[in-house]
Structure 1
Amino acid sequence: MFFQESFFEFYTKVKLSLEDGTFAKLTLAKTIGNTDLMNIYVRPVVEEGILKMELKFKFQQEEQVEIHSIDNTKDVLVQYINNPFMSAILFTTEFDLTYKLNKKRAVSIIQKGNTFGNASEVLLDYLNR
């Protein structure tokens, strides 16, 4: 898969934001055409004392939730890059990082100022225990 390496590079920033307590949320968006799957929202959860990721698949008519390890989440999400999603946005308390494919499928990773002032409460609780 052509996009796998660049997405995995992007995902290292996700893991770093989890480790340093700045992660707010991760969203896959901007679908190609009219698809049933509209977004994937990712947030941290604690299950049996282990930090994991909750993936909420937002369809036009329903939502589905899956919980995965932090590393496995990367493998699940990369399957949806370019089919159907054209972007992934990492929101942290320090910056927003956008992974984006253009019409020619060229990858760009753009860092902007932060949208969120607070990290995920679940993450902060987990790190401060």
Structure 2
Amino acid sequence: MSYQDVFVIFWKQVNESAQEGRFAKLTMAKTIGKPNLRNIFVRPVYSEDGFKVLLKLRYRSLETEDQEDELTLDEAFVVLKSHLITSFSSVLLFTTTKDVTFKINKKGAGSITESAPTFSDATPVKRDADWW
């Protein structure tokens, strides 16, 4: 199965965890090569407009300022999907019930694995909080 199809399945688990209040954090790691973009972090954030996430792009270079955006999950999906294969080969979803890892192998196939949860609660952060 192509990594794009598997990522859609993975993203359904992200949506379910958010709807059920179990979403704690999501991280894109395992860079491909040495891109300036080092990590992408996604955390739930307090919002009057429903469930939102704070997406942070962290860069290696001190000259490049990290970027933060408050987005819906659908908007975050578009950003994360655009960095698959080009910058990152894995995405880790941390929930209060399990950790889910999406990986792309060298042949371009995607896989999903699950493990015990890292986080015991999913407390949304305040926008001005330093949660990185």
The question of a shared fold, defined as TM-score above 0.5 by the shorter chain, is answered with: yes
For 1:45 and 1:21, the matched residues in 2 are separated by 12
Higher strand share: 1
Report how far residue 53 of structure 1 moved: 1.4
Match of 1:102 among 84, 105, 110: 105
Match of 1:81 among 63, 67, 84: 84
For 1:54 and 1:19, the matched residues in 2 are separated by 16
Query: Which residue does the alignment assign to 1:28?
Result: 28
Specify the code of the residue in structure 1 equivalent to 2:118. T
Report how far residue 118 of structure 1 moved: 1.4
Report how far residue 74 of structure 1 moved: 1.0
For 1:48 and 1:65, the matched residues in 2 are separated by 18
Query: Which residue does the alignment assign to 1:113?
Result: 116
Specify the code of the residue in structure 2 equivalent to 1:63. D
Report how far residue 4 of structure 1 moved: 2.7
Query: Which residue does the alignment assign to 1:63?
Result: 66
SS at structure 1 position matched to 2:52: strand
TM-score (norm 1): 0.86
* CA contact 1:25–1:120 (8 Å) conserved in 2: no
Specify the code of the residue in structure 2 equivalent to 1:80. H
1:53-82 Cα distance to aligned partner (Å, 9 max, x none): 111000012311012112121112101111
Query: Which residue does the alignment assign to 1:51?
Result: 51
Query: Which residue does the alignment assign to 1:127?
Result: none
TM-score (norm 2): 0.84
SS at structure 2 position matched to 1:86: strand
SS at structure 2 position matched to 1:79: helix
SS at structure 1 position matched to 2:51: strand
Query: Which residue does the alignment assign to 1:9?
Result: 9
Query: Which residue does the alignment assign to 2:129?
Result: none
For 1:70 and 1:121, the matched residues in 2 are separated by 14
